[in-house]
Amino acid sequence: MKNPQRPCHLIQEDIAWGRELSQEDKKHVLSCSSCSDIAAQMEELDSLVRKVIELEIPSGFADRVMTKIGEEESKGESFSSQWFPLLKRIFYSRAVQWMLVGIGTVFGLYKIFSLFSGLMLHAFV
Ligand SMILES: [Zn+2]
């Protein structure tokens, strides 16, 4: 069975959606500069997204924040720091984590957006 060559924009769409490419398409990507360009960009984006998902908070960063909070707490009323430190710790460490995830996500979304607008221009203009 012989498949006719699929148009570049369909192949690039498959790459963008992360669909499995056929042998023919894979061969085409290797020989086509615009398709291999998209494939390389998607790979880069992929590793970026993976980084965001498996976000690695620099070790010691959360500890430093906690130490700082601890210092602030010890200056304050002893009652609240006796009863709330654990909750506060959980809350602040969560807040810091989500803040970092948020920054990463915004950056990732911007990257996805700029990549896709570029892709759409390639495909339809
Ligand atoms: Zn192509």
What pLDDT is stored for residue 27 in this prediction? Answer: 94
Q: Which residue has the higher pLDDT, 69 or 40?
A: 40
Is the pTM for the entire model greater than 0.75? no
**Quick one: pLDDT at residue 56?**
58
- Supply the pLDDT for residue 80: 52
The predicted-structure confidence for 101-110, as pLDDT tens digits, reads as follows: 777 777 777 7
From the CA of 107, how far away is ligand 1's center (Å)? Answer: 28
Q: Report domain extents, the chain.
A: 8-124
d(CA 108, CA 119): 16
What per-residue confidence (pLDDT) applies to 66? 72
pLDDT in tens, 30-58: 999 999 998 998 888 777 777 766 665 56
6 CA distance to ligand 1 middle (Å): 9
DSSP secondary structure string, 29-65?
HHH-HHHHHHHHHHHHHHHHHHHHHT--PPTTHHHHH
Q: Residue 30 C-alpha to ligand 1 middle, in angstroms?
A: 9
Q: Which residue has the higher pLDDT, 79 or 28?
A: 28
